Amino acid sequence: MANAYLESTTMLNYPHPDIQALIIDHGWRELPTYDAIGAIYTFVRDQIAFGYNSGDTITAAKVLKDGYGQCNTKGTLLMALLRAVGIPCRVHGFTIYNDLQKGAIPIWLFSLAPERILHSWVEVQIDGKWINLEGYIIDAEYLGSVQRSLADQCEAFSGYGIATPCLANPKVDWQGEDTYIQREGIADDFGIFTSPDEFYRGHQQPLGRLKSVLYRWVIRHLMNANVRRIRRKGIPQPKVPEPQLK
């Protein structure tokens, strides 16, 4: 089974020239395992911006080309890069409640979102144990913008693609331990899968034909524009009405 956690698949297509060139450029194969995990994890978290791709089942090379992704697609790229340098990994499948997406998904689009959204994180093996990695989903620039907009509150928070016990200091940095940024929003646990290909053979987001077409060609672009706006300008603050002169 250990070899299965290193294999390339249709989705984990790490022999792709773009992925191989990226690995060579960053010298990840020459790093010790702990440092390689940290370097790859941080690259996927921060250099692949939080955003919404055309679908969950796109390949790792396509995620890299897009330059953005969400939990499932960024996880595919993370797994491909880890396996490409010889680090075993697997995927853990879930659903999350859509409430944590409120704000990232504009309010006027939110009613179109399903109640539960397909979700996953990556589990990486190091020193004989498995570590959960989920903190790669939200890039540091976007997270910082949300934090500043909400005065870095350290309390349970759900919204804008985040669900964490402490918004001011979520566990998202690689320190050899589990990282999380959406775990507090988990609804269903589907268990562990060797690859994303295996996960999606049994689990798909049930949008229906019309919503799937609308999502791919219209809705996700509006969502991505909203995410970019938050990253640049922060969360829009409600206008305080000016005092009326008597």
Give residue for tokens 């910082």: 144
Q: What is the pLDDT of residue 107?
A: 81
User: For residues 5 and 50, is the Cβ–Cβ distance under 8 A?
Assistant: no
Residue 241 counted as domain residue: no
- If one counts every other C-beta atom within 10 angstroms of the C-beta of residue 29, the result is 11
Higher pLDDT, 213 or 83: 83
Length of the chain: 246
Q: What is the pLDDT of residue 243?
A: 52
Residue 155 counted as domain residue: yes
CATH number of domain containing 165: 3.10.620
- For residue range 99-154, what is the model confidence (pLDDT) as tens digits? 999 999 888 777 777 889 999 999 999 999 999 999 999 999 999 999 999 876 67
Report how far apart the first and last C-alpha atoms of the chain are (Å, whole number): 77
User: For residues 214 and 223, is the Cβ–Cβ distance under 8 A?
Assistant: no
Q: Quote the number of domains for the chain.
A: 1
Residue 246 counted as domain residue: no
User: For residues 72 and 205, is the Cβ–Cβ distance under 8 A?
Assistant: no
Distance CA 185, CA 178 (A): 16
The domain of 48 spans 3-233
- For residue range 56-105, what is the model confidence (pLDDT) as tens digits? 999 999 999 999 999 999 999 999 999 999 999 999 999 999 999 999 98
AA identity, residue 74: K
Q: Quick check: 240 pLDDT over 50? A: no
Residue 101 counted as domain residue: yes
Burial 99-132 (b: 16+ CB within 10 A, else e): ebbbbbbeeeeeeebeebbbbbbbbbbeeeebbe
User: For residues 103 and 235, is the Cβ–Cβ distance under 8 A?
Assistant: yes
Residue 243 counted as domain residue: no
Residue 52 counted as domain residue: yes
CA within 13 Å, CB half, 145 = 21
Residue 244 counted as domain residue: no
Residue 30 counted as domain residue: yes
Q: Sort strands 68-69 and 49-50 into parallel, antiparallel or unpaired.
A: parallel
Q: Quick check: 1 pLDDT over 50? A: no
